[in-house]
């Protein structure tokens, strides 16, 4: 790609106040939007009881409720591809603002939906539609946010930018957990079923509109503005250009996303439930450990992003995958001791912060003209495949060994180390692409 004006893209320029404001607003908006997407999972049981016939067997009711949750993930690739197309053609900021609007509206409407008792089968169908819209929104939000912040900061700060944004997304998970805990602590089961479950969705809708307002203060990225000024925007379908000219990069990016899904899905999302089964940990203990791990993860994302800026993507990814492997085994081997559960969860959560390096690598792998489409397609397709299959694979593996979750994370981590070595051999481990390739 052609170089940008030096005043806009000096790799050695310091991080400015405008850069810091952009990172802060983007991360805050990402946290609020991801809260909207994830809050559903904390009320799956209640939703299963309220939105399906009362005579439905319990296992089928929960399966249907989780199916509604999964609908959000299945809609991610389509939403991401469509929004990325316009992000590469019309501008990053427009899609960045649209994605959070598309998340806030259905979240608010879910909190207002009639239940099966009132609306019959129209209730679960409406819920399915709203979850699909949420999935399409988050499919555009995550890759769009990484592209947006990376194109605003100096080249040598892309790791910090992507790490901070990823920390914001993970903080949204923690926020959802805390709000769900507060609702269940302040209200009894009957009150939660009657009206309490609606509160987190209504709050999320308000959060979302706040994020839309905050993003009005953000400016279009200098990289996209320069492409538009030079009339260098992609003329054909961006995705077609990606698949024709960057197939190897797409495969590499999907494998890197697999590393991300292994850390998030297994260590952060599945482990609290698995610990209750494997080590007779109480639900309260598991929830506390999960919250600590997620909070630690937010700090880990920023730390690994800073490390990537200092020593390069390859060394950071290799070291991070090795540490994630070790910490996951330590958690599953040592959590049988209740007093060790929280500190081991904190350690594992921090080490999973290596996921903050993943977007740092991917976002620089595609040229600016098709960056949004390349990242969005690779990330969303990989997340749909690996994120969807991981719980099933791990569950089946556990029939053979209680350490199956750690074995799974270890296998993917070894692959991540292999990718890190490849990046080093390709000369991309010490630094990101130079400014002239932004």
319-352 pLDDT per residue, tens? 999 999 999 999 999 877 778 899 999 999 999 9
pLDDT at 105: 94
Give residue 359's pLDDT band: very low, low, confident or very high (50, 70, 90). Answer: very high
- Over residues 285-305, the mean pLDDT reads 92
Return d(Cα 33, Cα 173) in angstroms, integer: 10
Q: Three-class SS of residue 345?
A: helix
- Which CATH number applies to 17-233? 1.20.1250.20
pLDDT of residue 2 exceeding 70: no
Token pair of 191 as six digits: 């009150």
End-to-end CA distance of the chain: 7
Indicate if the pLDDT at residue 434 is higher than 60.
no
CA-nearest of 73, 369, 71, 406 to 228 is: 369
Distances (CA, A) of 404 to 146, 173, 394, 410, 413: 32, 24, 6, 10, 14
* Per-residue confidence band for 412, with pLDDT thresholds at 50, 70 and 90: very high
Q: The domain 238-431 is classified under which CATH number: 3.30.2320.50, 1.10.10.60, 3.10.450.50, 1.20.1250.20? A: 1.20.1250.20
Evaluate if residue 436 carries a pLDDT over 50: no
Cα angle value 260/262/267 (rounded, 5°): 110
What percent of the chain is predicted at pLDDT more than 70? Answer: 93
Same fold yes or no, 17-233 and 238-431:
yes
Confidence of residue 12 (pLDDT cuts 50, 70, 90): low
pTM reported for the whole predicted model = 0.86
Q: Give me the half-sphere count of Cα atoms (radius 13 Å) on the Cβ side of residue 205.
A: 13
* pLDDT at residue 25 greater than cutoff 80: yes
**Residue whose C-alpha is closest to residue 420's, from 430, 411, 410:** 430
What distance in Å separates the CA atoms of residue 329 and residue 325, rounded to the nearest whole number?
A: 7
Query: What is the overall mean pLDDT for the chain?
Result: 86
Q: DSSP per residue over 189-237, as a string?
A: HHHIIIIITHHHHHHHHHHHHHHHHHHTTPPPPHHHHHHHHTT-S--S-
DSSP-derived secondary structure letter, 40:
G
Element (H, E) at 153: none
pLDDT at residue 95, as a whole number: 87
Tell me the DSSP string of 112-131. T---HHHHTTHHHHHHHHHH
Ranges of each domain in the chain: 17-233, 238-431
pLDDT, tens digit, for every residue of 263-289?
A: 998 998 888 878 887 887 877 788 888
């Amino acid at each position: 790609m052609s170089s940008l004006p030096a005043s806009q893209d000096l790799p050695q320029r310091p991080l400015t106040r405008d850069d810091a404001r952009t990172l802060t607003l983007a991360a805050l908006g990402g946290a609020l939007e991801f809260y909207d997407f994830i809050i559903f999972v904390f009320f799956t049981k209640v939703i299963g009881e309220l939105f399906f016939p009362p005579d439905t067997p319990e296992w089928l009711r929960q399966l249907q409720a989780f199916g509604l949750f999964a609908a959000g993930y299945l809609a991610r690739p389509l939403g991401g591809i469509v929004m990325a197309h316009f992000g590469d053609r019309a501008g990053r900021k427009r899609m960045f603002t649209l994605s959070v609007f598309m998340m806030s509206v259905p979240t608010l409407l879910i909190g207002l939906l009639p239940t099966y008792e009132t609306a019959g089968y129209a209730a679960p169908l409406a819920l399915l539609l709203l979850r699909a819209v949420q999935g399409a929104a988050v499919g555009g939000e995550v890759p769009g946010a990484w592209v947006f912040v990376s194109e605003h900061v100096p080249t040598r700060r892309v790791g910090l930018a992507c790490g901070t944004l990823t920390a914001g997304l993970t903080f949204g998970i923690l926020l959802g957990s805390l709000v769900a805990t507060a609702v269940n602590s302040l209200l009894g089961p009957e009150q939660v079923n009657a009206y309490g479950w609606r509160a987190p969705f209504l709050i999320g809708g308000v959060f979302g509109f706040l994020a839309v307002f905050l993003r009005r203060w953000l400016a279009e990225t200098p990289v996209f503005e320069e492409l538009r000024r030079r009339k260098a925007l992609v003329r054909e379908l961006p995705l077609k250009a990606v698949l024709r000219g960057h197939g190897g990069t797409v495969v590499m990016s999907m494998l890197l996303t697999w590393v991300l899904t292994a850390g998030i899905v297994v260590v952060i999302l599945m482990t609290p439930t698995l610990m209750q089964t494997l080590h007779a940990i109480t639900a309260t203990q598991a929830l506390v450990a999960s919250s600590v791990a997620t909070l630690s993860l937010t700090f880990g994302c920023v730390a690994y992003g800073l490390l990537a800026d200092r020593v390069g993507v390859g060394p950071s990814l290799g070291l991070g995958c090795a540490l994630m492997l070790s910490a996951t085994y330590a958690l599953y081997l040592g959590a049988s001791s209740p007093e060790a559960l929280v500190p081991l969860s904190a350690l594992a959560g921090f080490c999973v912060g290596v996921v903050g390096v993943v977007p740092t690598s991917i976002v620089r792998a595609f040229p600016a003209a098709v960056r949004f489409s390349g990242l969005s397609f690779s990330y969303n397709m990989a997340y749909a495949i690996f994120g969807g299959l991981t719980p099933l694979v791990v569950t089946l593996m556990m029939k053979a060994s209680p350490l199956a979750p750690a074995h799974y994370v270890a296998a993917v981590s070894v692959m991540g180390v292999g990718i890190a070595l490849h990046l080093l051999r390709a000369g991309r481990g010490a630094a990101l692409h130079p400014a002239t390739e932004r």
